[in-house]
Amino acid sequence: MAKLSIVKVGGSLFDHPALGPTLRNWLEKRTGQRHVLVAGGGAAANVIRQYHHTHHLPEPVSHWLAIQMMDVNGAFLRHLVNGSAEILNAREFCERDEGKPGALAHDWRVTSDAIAARAAEVLGASELVMLKSVALPAGISWAEAAAKGLVDHAFGEVVERAGIRVEWVNLRDEISEEP
């Protein structure tokens, strides 16, 4: 049986026209693994964040709306990868996880980063790959990464509690190298 790899695809990558071929190529190189992609919220989640501030929505309401935007982006990713990976249904996953030990809070400390980490924990993944638009500075802690806006504030808690192996890939650099 293939090892399970949870792959968070950062929403900041969605604006690049070569994301589809780059992502498919990246997945093809990782043979012998079952990949489940977690779509970042990106610009769609940022719209919800703005609505939250403008209309003073309760955080749990905004959080669930942002999760729905992850699923919209997941449908976009499904088209881009053309069947070469599974896509996590974020809302369904979070609803099923609700009330379980270690379940995530419904506030802005939790974004698609922590949801990907929680999916890796719950599904027993051998690794969590974070495909992002920036490099992770060497030797930085997850708390420092959160303070710099590289991950959300709940991410490190989940990763450290579950002992998840994290691979960080600046996919934007790989996209830029594509012909």
CATH of the domain at 129: 3.40.1160.10
| pLDDT one-digit tens code per residue, 114-150 | 999 999 999 999 999 999 999 999 999 999 999 999 9
3-state secondary structure of 89: coil
Residue 123 domain flag: yes
pLDDT exceeds 70 at position 170: yes
CA gap 105, 102 in Å, rounded: 9
Confidence of residue 31 (pLDDT cuts 50, 70, 90): confident
Q: What is the mean pLDDT of residues 2-16?
A: 94
Residue 179 lies in a domain: no
74 is in which domain, residue-wise?
3-173
pLDDT tens for each residue of 83-99: 889 999 999 999 999 99
In a domain? residue 165: yes
pLDDT recorded at residue 83: 86
Establish if 178 belongs to a structural domain. no
Count how many domains the chain has: 1
Look at residue 159 and tell me if it is in a domain.
yes
Q: What is the pLDDT of residue 176?
A: 63
Domain assignment present for residue 53? The answer is yes
70 or 176, higher pLDDT: 70
Is 76 a domain residue? yes
Residue 100 has which token pair?
């379980």
167: its two tokens: 């691979």
